[in-house]
Chains A and B, each alone.
Chain A
Amino acid sequence: MLIGTVFLAGLVILLTALLVIGNRFLPPESEPIVDQLEQLLPRIQCGQCGYAGCRAYAEAIASDSVPINRCPPGGTETIRELANIMGLPTKKLREDLGQASLDQVARIDENLCIGCNLCARVCPVDAIAGVPQMMHTVIAIHCTGCELCLPPCPVDCIELASRND
C-alpha cells in the first residue's frame, strides 16, 4: 500500500519535472502578446478608441486591461477575436465612440475643394493625393474609412460613401 503510494507519487513528480524542464528548453513559439493583439486590430489608426493609434490600444489592452470593445472599425468580429486570445468574455461594441468602418470610403467633392491640403496631412495612410493649391482626391482602394479627414476640411467637401460603388 505504502510502496504503491510512494511509487505513484514518485512517478508524478518525475513526469512533472520532465514537463517543466521541457517547457524551459523547448518553449512554444509565440509572438509577444502586443504584436498578436495589434494584428487583430484593423490598424487604420482612426483613434476612435481614444488611444494614439492601434498599437497604443493593443498595448493598453495587454498591460492595463482596458475594455476590448472600443474599436468601431473592428466591430464585433475584432471583439470576438480579442476575447478569444485574451481569454475574456465578449462585450457589446461601444456605439458612442464613432462610426469608422472599413466598408466606407471618403470622397472629395471636386467642386468645393480649395486645395488647402489639410486633409492629406492628417490621413494616416496617405490615401489623399494632392498638391497645395491644387485639387485633391481620395485614392479609394487605400482609403480605410477612418473619418480623420472630415473635421479638418474648412469647406466641408468630404463625405463618406459605401465602398461597393
Chain B
Amino acid sequence: MTEYQIYRGMTGGIRLAPRKELSTAFPINRDLIPNQLIIPMKQHPGPPAIPTVTVGERVRNGQMVGQSDSIFSAAIHTARAGVVVALEKRLIPSGTHLIESQCILLDVDTGATEESTERQHPWPDIHTNRLQAIRDAGIVGLGGAAFPTATKLDTKTICDTLIFNGAECEPYISCDDMLMREHSSEILLGVQAMIDLLNPKNCLIAIERDKPQAIEAMQTEITELGNERIKIAAVTIKYPAGGERQLVELLVGKEVPSGRYPIEIGCVCQNVGTAFALGELVSKAKPITSRIVTVTGKGVRNPQNVEVPIGTTIRELIQHCGGYTKGATRLILGGSMMGYAVSSDELPLTKTTNCVIASTDDEVRTSYQESPCIRCGDCAEVCPVRLLPQELLSPSKNFDFQKLDSLSLRDCIQCGCCDVVCPSQIPLTEYFRNARNAQHRHTLHQQLAETAQLRHTNKQERLKLQDEQTEKFRNDLKAQVAENSDSRQEAIEAAIDRAQRQRSLVNHKD
C-alpha cells in the first residue's frame, strides 16, 4: 500500500489527453548503437566546452571530449568508442531553437567490444570533493535547462525543500515515467546523494497521480531505504504542473519571486533524470553519456523509450525504432505543447532532448487561421502565471515594449495553455515568443545605447579636460619662458657686471 499525499489546486492549467500509451507499452530499449555521433560542445547555458581531442584521434568509451572551466558549463564525454572524424560547427537543438555549435564528429566502432564506462569517476569519500566529481562527470539538469548540477548544488542558502520533478505533465513524453519504473534504486541513490549535499528539511518526489507503476516502484524503494525524509507527492494531472515554478507553488505553497530562482525561497528542484545520472555516478562511477528519450507519435513505426547515446542523430534513432510511417509530416523535439518543430532529422540529440515526436497530420494542429480576439478571457483563466493574454496580444503584435513590461510579458513561461482554449484559435504563444525575443533585443539595445551615451559624454569631458590642460601647460610654459628670459637677462647683466668688476680689479692691481 503506497502512502503518498495528493497535491491539487494549482493556478490555471488545463487537462490534456496524455497520449503516453503509445510509448509506455514496452520496457526501455537499450540496444541502440549508432554509426555516427555528433557531439555538441554547447549543451549548457555557459560558454561552449573546449574539445580535448583532435581529428583522427581514437577515443575510448566514456572519455572526456570536451572540457570547460566556467561554472555555467559542463564537461562532455563520449558514449561510444571510435575515431574522431572532424571538428566542425553544426546546427544543434538548444532550448526552443537551433544554434550553431562546435561539434565532435565521431565514427563509432560498432564492432568493437563494449568497454565499460564504469569506474572512471569514483565517488569521493570526502564530502568537499563531491561537487567537483559531479562537475567532472558532466552532470547537468536533464529537465531542459541543462544547468550544471554542481553549480546548482553549490549554494550557501539553506535548502528547506528538495523537490525531484518526475511530474512529466506534457503529452507524449514518458521517459521519466519509464525511468522511475525501471531504475528506482539508482534514482534514489542520486536522491540520497543530493540530500547529503544539501541537507534539506524535506524531500519530495513529485509524480503525476495517473502513474501508479512509477509511484509503486519509487515507494517500494523508499520504504526499503527507510529514509523518512523522502516522501512521494502525487500531483494533479493538469498541465503544466511539472513546470518548476508551478510545482513549487503546488508543493510548498509559496511563489518564486518573478525573475528569481527557487533557492531564494529555500527550494531546489531537480529532474529525476538528473538524480538517476547522479545515482549512476555514485554507484558505478559513470559520467553522463546517454539518456532516455521517448520516441513516439504515429509517424514512427515502433514508438518506445530508448537509451540514446548523446550525439546520436534523430535519423538514426528513428531508424532504430522502425523508421517513419507513411504519414509522418512533422518532427518535434520535446512534447506537443512546448516542443520545437525541426525540418531536418540530421540534428544530434543533446543531454536535454527528452522526446522526439514524429507526427502525422491528424495528431497535431494544422490550421493556423485566426479570428479576432473576442475577449472571452478563457486564456486568462488557464494561465498558470495569472497573466492576461487577451491584454498582451495587441502590444505583442505591435512590439509596444512599455505596455509589455507593465503587463509582465517577461513572466510568461510559454506553456501554450492559452492557445489550446482560445475560441478564436489565435496562436498566442507564438506572438508572445516573438515579442519576447524582440523585447530581449530591445533591452540589450537600450543598455548599449545608455552606456554609449555615458561613454560618449565621458569622452567629450575627457577631451575637454585634455584641451584645457594642454592650454594651461602652454600658457605656463610661455610664462616660464618669459620669466626665464627676464631672469636670463638679469643673469647676463650680473655676469657682465662681475666680469667688468673683475677686469677693473685686475686693472687696478697693475
Q: Chain A: residues with CB nearer than 8 A to chain B?
A: 41-45, 77, 80, 102-103, 124-127, 142, 144
Contacts and interface: CB of A to CB of B under 8 A. Distances in A.
Contact of B458 (A42, A44, A103, A126): A126
B452 interface: yes
B442 A43 contact: no
A125 B445 contact: no
Nearest to A126: B459
Contact of A127 (B450, B455, B462): B455
Contact of B456 (A41, A43, A102): A43
A77 B399 contact: yes
A144 B452 contact: yes
Contacts of B458: 126
Most buried by A among B399, B448, B462: B448
23 contacts: A41-B449, A42-B445, A42-B449, A43-B449, A43-B453, A43-B456, A44-B449, A44-B452, A77-B399, A77-B442, A102-B445, A102-B449, A103-B441, A124-B455, A124-B459, A125-B452, A125-B459, A126-B455, A127-B455, A142-B451, A142-B452, A144-B449, A144-B452
B455 A142 contact: yes
A63 B444 CA distance: 30
Contacts of B449: 41-44, 102, 144
B455 A125 contact: yes
Q: Interface size for chain B: under 10, 10 to 19, 20 to 34, or 35 or more residues?
A: 10 to 19
Contacts of B441: 103
A43 B449 CA distance: 6
Interface of B: 399, 441-442, 444-445, 448-453, 455-456, 458-459, 462
B438 to A, nearest CB: 8
Nearest to A44: B452
Contacts of B462: 126
A133 to B, nearest CB: 19
Contacts of A102: 444-445, 448-449
A103 B437 CA distance: 14
Contacts of A43: 449-450, 452-453, 456
Nearest to A54: B453
Contacts of B459: 124-126
A101 to B, nearest CB: 10
Nearest to B441: A103
The 10 closest A-B pairs by CB, nearest first: A125-B455, A43-B453, A44-B452, A42-B449, A102-B445, A43-B449, A144-B452, A125-B452, A126-B459, A124-B456
A77 B437 CA distance: 14
A42 B399 contact: no
Nearest to A75: B445
Given A43-B456, A127-B455, A144 B448 contact: yes
Contacts of B453: 43
A84 B414 CA distance: 29
B437 to A, nearest CB: 13
A125 B456 contact: yes
Contacts of A41: 449
Contacts of A127: 455
A42 B442 contact: no
A42 B448 contact: yes
A44 B459 CA distance: 12
B443 to A, nearest CB: 12
A10 B57 CA distance: 95
Nearest to B442: A77
A18 to B, nearest CB: 31
B175 to A, nearest CB: 32
A117 B458 CA distance: 19
A25 to B, nearest CB: 29
A44 B455 CA distance: 9
B101 to A, nearest CB: 12
A45 B459 CA distance: 12
B402 to A, nearest CB: 10
Given A43-B449, A43-B453, 7 more contacts: A42-B448, A42-B449, A44-B456, A77-B442, A102-B445, A124-B459, A126-B455
A42 B453 CA distance: 8
